[in-house]
Amino acid sequence: MDNRISITDLKAKKKRGERIVMITCYDYPSARLLEVAGVDILFIGDTLGMTVLGYDSTIPVTMDEMLHHTKAVVRGSTNAHVLADMPFMSYQTSPEDALRNAGRLLKEGGAQSVKLEGGVCVAETVRFIVDAGIPVMGHIGLTPQSIHQLGGYKVQGKTPAAAVRLVNDALALEQAGAYAVVLECVPLELAKTITDRLAIPTIGIGAGPHCDGQVQVFHDLLGLFQGFAPKHAKRYANLGDQITAAVRDYVNDVREGSFPTEKESFLLDKAVFSEAARIA
């Protein structure tokens, strides 16, 4: 039986001053590895659209795709909290649609909570979902599903008015019952102010060191994307280069005839082979 980290555990971490570790995860083997490493929250982000499915943004990601990947992560873990993103247009149309889709991520996908983007404008939707018994994590600052409205991937809250809006967004989400809030691409001073104002945890990505926790994209962390590296990401490994080199060695071995060898082959008993040869 699963003994997963709960939202109560996560909120208690803030009270104790313990940092929360969250990372995106999209499949079974990654979930197994990340849980062994001690990650608190495995997050099936709609970033899977770009990192796994090859879309240009998160916008095309569907509920069926989110469910597919959420199920895989749940099967690969037993202790970490599993958080699933609500994709674009799964919650914007009405609170009823939002509740229905959030419920699918828990009932069909097996997640323990859901995340959606927006502040004051989605607060009532958040309250509607939470009142139905579904834990919700908020997300403010740079909200990728609104990238066309924001005019690109830019730091948010850089003017006095914008900073006040973000504080109000965070407070509205807390009052609506969100158990935590992601702060994405927010100046560190503003992120600290929000973190200090809220009783619920803040999870930063490009929001400085003062948040209650941090989240990073799996592929950025491990160097699985070639070329582009976000400013907020620290690359802990260059697995992309290692994978390419390893597969290149395999390609060369096959083409040169040096793989497989007898070591990687199955041998027939000599007596059986002789008898088979005689019959043939």
Which residue numbers are catalytic? 184
Q: Please report which helix (H) or strand (E) contains residue 243, including its range.
A: helix 239-256
CA distance 202 to 259: 51
| Alpha-carbon gap, residue 85 to 105, rounded angstroms | 9
Q: Which value, to the nearest 10 degrees, does the dihedral of the CA atoms of residues 29, 33, 35, 36 take?
A: 140
179, 8 Cβ separation under 8 angstroms: no
Q: How far apart are CA 9 and CA 208, in angstroms?
A: 23
* Strands 180-184, 136-141: pairing kind: parallel
Q: Is 34 exposed, middle or buried (0-12, 13-18, 19+ CB in 10 A)?
A: buried
Token duo for residue 86: 């609500």
Question: Which of 132, 124, 127, 79 is closest to 105 using CA atoms?
Answer: 132
Residues 6+ apart with CB under 8 A from 44: 24, 25, 26, 66, 69, 70, 73, 82, 83, 84, 85, 109, 111
- As given in the structure block, the two tokens for residue 273 are 């082979």
